[in-house]
Amino acid sequence: MKFCRASSVNEALAYLGEWGADGYLLAGSTDIMPQYNSGDVAPSALIHIEGIESLSLITINERTSIGALVSHSRLAADKEIVARHPALAKAASLVGGWQTQAVGTVGGNICNASPAADLAPPLLIADAQVTLVSTSGERQLTLDDFFAGRRQTARRSDELLTTIELEPLPNGSAEVYVKLGRRGAMDVAIVGLAVRLALGENGKIANARVAVCAVAPKPMRLPKVEAALTGLPLEAVELAAVGKTLVAAISPIDDNRATASYRKRVLPGLLQQAVCQCAEEIQK
């Protein structure tokens, strides 16, 4: 195995051109090292991109642009992210421990494409778009299209994910990320749920965005649940019917963290919790 150090996007692309699918991009390395040690991956080359400064930026315009190399610690602490993307900041603070958050990156979290990726639901409710760059040009994909399946993405082996663009929380809206784990620290999510709600003038939910992780092969938005929430009164939302829609929209599995039926039982309660938290935020 070779260790290649890229200090610019062009250098990284050159290495990707050289190694193709046998070259693994490496930033914080918190995901790849255990996979390498267990023999799950056997790359011919590691392409270390942590030093590419242009990918470590957070740029605030109408939309929020986050470089792929921004760490979880920075997402959790950055004032603009906390204000514009509170669910994302919260989720970043719940990924592993400080040691993981200090070096683990947002680009790594989504390129690794774990079904339980904590950052995915809050990114999905912000209509995240990712930019992929290769020597033949660049393209943008919605995060939803980027996730292709369990640990699979639409990234071609010659492409580098450079930035993630987000739509910030509008005025009069609120968003939260709620996560169920086993002990409240260092958890891989049993279920993760992000909700963004906008309140209409009539006290009803004018717009709802809902995304989940760890209940399907890939993190995903739930359009039917969003439609079912829209138009409901924000105070005392009657969630029984919405809960059924929610359970019908997911396809959880049994694994060493929880059973599928457990996940189906707890998710409606988490939605209730998330909606209540959003209502409290909006009324502040």
Nearer to another protein, 17 or 34 (CB): 34
Contact with another protein (CB under 8 A) among 14, 82, 102, 154: 102
39 binds another protein (CB under 8 A): no
C-alpha neighbours within 13 Å on the C-beta side of residue 229: 30
Contact with another protein (CB under 8 A) among 6, 19, 50, 129: 50
Min dist CB 105 to another protein, Å, is 13
Both tokens of 168, joined, read 């910030």
Nearer to another protein, 39 or 137 (CB): 39
Contact with another protein (CB under 8 A) among 12, 26, 69, 275: 26
List C-alpha distances in Å: 60 to 64, 107, 243.
5, 18, 36
Sheet hosting strand 205-213, strand order edge to edge? 173-180, 191-199, 205-213, 220-221
Give Cβ neighbours of residue 217 (< 8 Å, ≥ 6 apart): 115, 149, 150, 251
Give Cβ neighbours of residue 183 (< 8 Å, ≥ 6 apart): none
Min dist CB 260 to another protein, Å, is 25
33 binds another protein (CB under 8 A): yes
Min dist CB 280 to another protein, Å, is 20
Residues 128/68, Cβ–Cβ less than 8 Å:
no
Min dist CB 72 to another protein, Å, is 12
Please, which of residues 51-90 interact with another protein by CB under 8 A? 51, 73
34 binds another protein (CB under 8 A): yes
Q: Distance between CA 94 and CA 184 in Å, rounded?
A: 9
How many CB atoms are closer than 10 A to CB 181? 19
Min dist CB 50 to another protein, Å, is 6
Min dist CB 9 to another protein, Å, is 18
Q: Which residue has the tokens 């400064």?
A: 53
96 binds another protein (CB under 8 A): yes
Sheet hosting strand 23-26, strand order edge to edge? 2-5, 45-48, 23-26
169 phi/psi in degrees, rounded to 5: -65, 120
2 binds another protein (CB under 8 A): yes
207 binds another protein (CB under 8 A): no
Nearer to another protein, 48 or 84 (CB): 48
Contact with another protein (CB under 8 A) among 79, 185, 238, 240: 185
Min dist CB 111 to another protein, Å, is 17
41 binds another protein (CB under 8 A): no
Q: Distance between CA 100 and CA 87 in Å, rounded?
A: 19
- For residue 164, give the 3-state DSSP assignment: strand
C-alpha neighbours within 13 Å on the C-beta side of residue 83: 6
Stretch of residues binding another protein (CB under 8 A), selected from 58-66, 84-92, 94-102, 196-204: 94-102
Residues of this chain that bind another protein (CB under 8 A): 1-3, 5, 26, 29-30, 33-34, 36-37, 46, 48, 50-51, 73, 93, 96-100, 102-103, 185-186
